[in-house]
Structure 1
């Protein structure tokens, strides 16, 4: 019989466990035949709810075990199940209630073989700590009660609006921290329910679950024992006089100082320090301040780049960045043995609170000794020993058994953090992989480096290679790599899974910042972006001023100009001088172009003046048509010279856009030239960003619509109709809807275009193009009031016009053109909004065709 293969990579899933209350007593009361009829009706309800809420039934007896992709789907199922049981009970004149527990966590999933299923096995198996935790929640619940874990509650609560009006009526209650038998850490428990259906009462203690109450709230019977214990502790303190302690709590931060290598062996200098970090970072209890963050703080302290993080400087870093303790590792030869030790230092007093050590024979013992030392540190800092044992993967497994490979890896990380010489770093990572081809962390770091170079294909390849060696990665690293792989294949899946990842690892501020950027680029959801970025702006986060810049951009996208400018100024004052475009756009949005120029030119990217796409957007917005055409021509020339396929396509889109704006007679031919280039370079461009060719073709359709070219619009839709990109990428999907609406308008069906675009325009994430298309459609139906509403929107949402993002960013050329025209016309209807610049005497030439 073929055996099933159990996977080694956990996946984050939502688990729902339910139990039908007193099912045995029910059968005794109504008899087998009536019970069979009732349970068949029950099963029909379950099947219907599975389909409605996209759940998969794993097991059932008196209860159900289901898994879902999203917590809100599991909650929707549970709420409908509770309501469905009540109705079914009324039909059969029997009280029917269920208990339910909802949890999000890592589980192992595997399909059983066909032979095994035929012999009675389940088709899908689910295992992992998340399963019994969901079971403990379910067992704790009262009849009719739905209990959620602290992981599931914020994700479900945030998405409750997807439940419609019912979601607004739900009651959410916290019942504090509870301890479950077999689970080392206390868990926060929540209830959610509908008034009148849910108990909305504190659960009762069970033999396997009890509240985590402080001593002063426990039964009076403990008072005498507490007094006796207190006397003993006080007496013991005076006898032993312990070292001062650090009030370290779960998820507190530590600074790891530079390793003191007293052996004289240079191989240990960087490698063991990096190994110490890797080993300690496996803990969910202890957070380690990143190398990059420490270097940033050292720069603020005006220390040289090569300065050591010792007791004094490390303590100052800890105080500045909100870390609770400083760890100082040392390696030395003592009595013929290699000793690895670490001191825990109170940064306020710079005194050693305690020290731990481990001895071994020879240099080969160093990695094992580091594991021993970090396990001792975690326990001393308060982490439960059971959790240490569960999450500690030996360093040779989670990193590499080769000290030489680890040395190359450590030096590569230092290069990335200091000189930013990416080619040198890539060479060092390749050297580490030559020494240990199974070094999964090296592949993961290379992938991050390739991502920073916008090389999506190589980043994806490196991440996939890392995941083929899952036993050489920590649980968090595997989850992070798996998440990043979805970023370029399915943005919506990435955004959903990123929120689940952050529920498990809330202190990964780098990924939280990345999520905020993706909420901008994939959704143009500036409110969510603002909330996410604010959550990443913690003292321990690296690149804090870059995140402040992103926060300012989110504020600009909401037309909050003064707040945005204040954050832009703070970001630059804090040392972030790159990416000055959005800072400048905050002034452009208010028509203060001189200030915009000053801000942009004083940034590192603006020293040569407005160039390329920034220049095209600037000169279109200011109505300087010849400058915009010249900037687009120069951009294309530079892109071709650099053999940059994507930039060349974007430059051609800019050239065609300027031609359309200025009513250039060559406009249609330039659009066709753009499409020819897209056809020729689609494979290369899509390898960089998968939606590129589809978005470019739809943009060409939008430009054709501006010219009332029905053939060009039809061709754009025909070529892209089989593409999955509009479904997977929300901004491209919206663009397709706008082009389809323009097709309907041109076909004499403006009311159909209005009905298509009105629901989109009501959304906060609606593209500027959607409002423009609806304005034209309303005009075509004779609805002057509706046209003026959207004309005013285009004239007043200037922050959104400049910040709106898509994959290729070509819509910005369009946005500033239609916004400028709306400003000039004061939102009054015009026969052809984009023809007006030429009518006002603008330069007709949009540049030579290419």
Structure 2
């Protein structure tokens, strides 16, 4: 907690940026990802300087920045995403930088070039609700900018945030290059339609001349064409499942809810949460399958909401839920895939295995889900799903314990994280994910202690 005598409170706009799939990219290409991180820092720092923003904290691939103006903070976020769109345009998939941005306006405490308080925490908590390459803002930000910008916004509803006592309304920023109603579009009206808008006084209605025979024929053709479109649309909605409801775009989509820990020991959560995250990472490899990020589903841990409610909030058409029970050297994993539209089980299975077989269980779950959703798997992807970052169960457990300690965001937690990740690397020196998380823990320790 900052020393009250050497700190000052102020209302500030806080922007949080985070690289998408950072850990996964580190696992695939550590050197290449570190270069991307360097490029990201250069781009963000340059734009921050141009908008009088002040970087107050760096956590691995994430940035906290402070602004005196909430509108300037929003414009800075838009410029960052616009610059990255241009940066990514000519680069290969594994060389692109995709980030999410969250912006909140709140009362924060400033001390020693750092910021503390809910204002900082909320910005980081809403960031996962943004799309890759997108921006989310709170209602406090929305009220300040809604009449000062031509941007459009889409409400995402109230969101429960970890360790935050209230649920803020969150909005998605419709970026200019995403908005079909932008003025560069020929279909964009010169003036927005207003209910009850009156005609200008000088405008008079003139008598409408009787239609000619050719005009009648054209009119009948338009009516017949319109009827065909309506019939075709009815068939699509009712017989092919297009239209409203969860994931109205018709694409395959899935949310993996946090698996329930059935283990008696209090420490069972880290193992169960790790299995959930690994399944999400494996499914994210499947082409044409939209997978909700882990940070977006954490809010549903222990929730009483039905899968129908959750699917509607996340806009998905399938849900995977399950449980994990661990007894000594054995583990039981129960998983079931639910089709939201029919409320039927597309697939379900119970695995009773030795703990050393947990990697095989995770791979099998991902493969079965892919088959249930009729996803096409290339031989390369099949081999990748069957592989694991490590085959050492003890190294894997230390890695999961380290991640659990890191998520406490305390000096003691980061020291513990460093200890566990080092233990994982002693057991498996080639464990790339452990190296990535070890780097994050050391970066966070430096931010706290300023010691090298």
- Range class of TM-score, shorter chain: 0.3 to 0.5
Structure with the greater alpha carbon radius of gyration: 1
Question: RCO (CA 8 Å, sep 6+): is it higher in 1 or 2?
Answer: 2
So what's the TM-score if we normalise by structure 2? 0.38
So what's the TM-score if we normalise by structure 1? 0.22
Q: Normalized per residue, which structure has more strand? A: 2
Q: Normalized per residue, which structure has more helix? A: 1
